Amino acid sequence: MLWRLPGGSCGFAPYVVRRTLIPDLVLDAYGAQGGVGVTFEDGRIVDIGPAKRGERLTGKALAPGFVNDHSHAFQRGLRGAVERIEPSHPLDDFWTWRERMYALANELTPDSIRKVSRRCYEEMLSAGYTSVTEFHYVHHRPDGTSYRDPNALAKAVARAAEDTGIRLLLLPVAYARGGLPRFRDPSVRAFLERVDTLVEWSEGRSLVEAGVAAHSVRAVPRGWLEEIGEYARLNSLPLHIHADEQPREIEECQAEHGMRPIELLARTGFLGPGTTIIHATHANAKELDLLSEHDASVCACPTTEGNLGDGFLPAEEILQRNIHLSIGSDSHVRIAPCEELRELETNARRLSGRRNVLVAEHETSPTPWLLRAGWDRVGLKAGDPADLIEIDLSHPALADVGARNLPSALVFGAGSGVLVGTWVEGRKVHGPDDPVG
Ligand SMILES: [Zn+2]
């Protein structure tokens, strides 16, 4: 039975309250099942099971949407523009790339950041990401003074997400030193006041949630790390930070603090179950042990880390310690969740000279661990948001693949072209027009 509420929010089609989709297959991290319907109501899945009545999605499979846990949406504006040597920088590396990125960041206005973010989020939806964590550090006017609304740029990014229908975790990022004047707040107190206001503003916006972040141990001093860590804990907010992306950052941290970045984060109370370390590319065994002890997570961004020459994620060591892993498209050199997952395993194979390396205990394939990192869940289940992707089983990349092998074919043998629909909160936000919604 289908019925509708009048009107819809954010310009979407009328909101369908209850709906059952019956695809040929429902995919999880371990395989795929036929004869299963997915019923959702008010944006949440309420039932997964045998269903005879509902809308048939012939030739299609449904699976969870991917979670993009690290994004700088405005960097989508660098696509294709940084893949050549500049005569002024004959030796190109992360640090020269950063100069190009700063030049772009300095030009942004509330209107232009909304526009580039919208383009980026539309691409994410087309690639199968249904939610994104935006690590947002461009806060003020180019000269460092506040906009009339000190959160104007953060709100422009949030509105871009709402324009497209993607789910957003918005992280205002503390920046104390270095970078551009518009990244920086004068004090940690001033920063946290802005975060308070933004958290309050985001409440009641169905697609937007706010957390908090510090840019890096390079950009944020010890006292700030202590206060931001405590603030996140007291307010139960997700807490993110870049760490161990480049060897130089580690050397500078050792020179300033006499310890490595993740050791400093542990010492300042920044690490906890709500903390996510972005990159951890050069984390050593002691630092990984600290992440495990504090139940903190790692977000890997393999296509960006490859593009910037960062190095290889210590993925095997992360798996051995059972550290929670997520993926992010970061600089958006590519927006393709299965490519991020494939890179994790492919890099592990190149490094080890073995095949099927990232295999969790009691499992025989890397695919379940990789898909859990990409989806942040094992499969669709009642109670979860109705954030789904619709896969074309007749696509040349998946034709003749049996149900048992479908998850691995998705990770290892397919691109985003196999996706024909993306649903967030039970609304179709990408793909051919929804005949009902
Ligand atoms: Zn980043």
- Spell out the per-residue pLDDT of the chain, length 437, in tens: 333 333 334 444 445 579 999 999 999 999 999 999 999 999 999 999 999 899 999 999 999 999 999 999 999 999 999 999 988 888 889 988 999 999 999 999 999 999 999 999 999 999 999 999 999 999 999 999 999 999 999 999 999 999 999 999 999 999 999 999 999 999 999 999 999 999 999 998 999 999 999 999 999 999 999 999 999 999 999 999 999 999 999 999 999 999 999 999 999 999 999 999 999 999 999 999 999 999 999 999 999 999 999 999 999 999 999 999 999 999 999 999 999 999 999 999 999 999 999 999 999 999 999 999 999 999 999 999 999 999 999 999 999 999 999 999 999 999 999 999 999 999 999 998 765 54
Pick from 186, 262, 199: nearest CA to 231: 199
Task: Look at residue 36 and give its three-state secondary structure.
Answer: strand
From the list 134, 242, 237, the residue with the least C-alpha distance to 178 is 242
Question: In whole angstroms, what is the distance from residue 164 CA to residue 176 CA?
Answer: 32
CA 259–ligand 1 middle distance (angstroms): 22
User: Ligand 1 centroid vs 353 CA: distance in angstroms?
Assistant: 29
The Å distance, Cα 301 to ligand 1 centre, comes to 8
Measured in angstroms, how far is the CA atom of residue 3 from the centroid of ligand 1? 42
pLDDT, position 50? 94
What is the pTM for the complete model shown? 0.95
3-state secondary structure of 66: strand
Contact 168, 131 (CB under 8 A): yes
Q: Tokens in use for 162? A: 């709402």
Bridge partners of 242, per DSSP, are 278
Give the list of residues 6+ apart from residue 82 with CB closer than 8 angstroms, or none. 97, 100
Residue 11 is which amino acid?
G
The whole-angstrom separation of Cα 291 and Cα 213 is 17
Which segments within 301-366 are labelled E, that is strand? 325-327
Between vectors from CA 236 to CA 168 and to CA 240, what angle results, nearest 5°?
A: 55
Instruction: Give the CA count within 13 Å in the CB-facing half-sphere of 59.
Output: 10
Which secondary structure element, helix H or strand E, spans residue 99, and what is its range? helix 94-107
Q: Distance from the CA of 99 to the center of ligand 1, in angstroms?
A: 15
CA of 340 to the centre of ligand 1 (A): 15
Name the nearest CA neighbour of 157 among 199, 109, 107, 99.
109
Superfamily of domain 9-64+379-430: Urease, subunit C, domain 1 (2.30.40.10)
Active-site positions read: 279, 330
Q: Which segments of the chain belong to CATH 3.20.20.140?
A: 66-355
Report the C-alpha gap between 102 and 219 in whole angstroms: 14
- Residue 300 Cα to ligand 1 midpoint, Å, equals 10
Please, are residues 421 and 430 in contact by the beta-carbon 8 Å criterion? Answer: yes
Those residues with Cβ within 8 angstroms of residue 98's Cβ, 6 or more apart along the chain or in another chain: none
For residues 408, 411, 415, 417, the Cα torsion angle rounded to the nearest 10 degrees is: 60
Burial of 312 (0-12, 13-18, 19+ CB in 10 A): middle
Q: How far is the CA of 157 from the centre of ligand 1 (A)?
A: 16
Q: Which of 49, 106, 48 is nearest to 77 (CA)?
A: 106
Cα four-point dihedral sign 161, 334, 416, 376? negative
State the DSSP H helix or E strand holding residue 167, giving kind and residue range, or none if neither: strand 167-174
Are 317 and 288 spatial neighbours (Cβ–Cβ below 8 Å)? yes
CATH of span 66-355: 3.20.20.140
Query: What is the dihedral angle through the alpha carbons of 49, 55, 58, 63, rounded to the nearest 10 degrees?
Result: -50
Question: 170 C-alpha to center of ligand 1: Å?
Answer: 13
- Is 269 buried (19+), middle (13-18) or exposed (0-12) by CB count in 10 A? middle
Q: 403 C-alpha to center of ligand 1: Å? A: 36
Which one-letter amino acid corresponds to residue 43? G
Distance separating alpha carbons of residues 63 and 265, to the nearest angstrom: 36
User: H or E segment at 242?
Assistant: strand 239-243
Question: Where exactly does CATH 2.30.40.10 map onto the chain?
Answer: 9-64+379-430
Structure tokens at 227: 């206060």
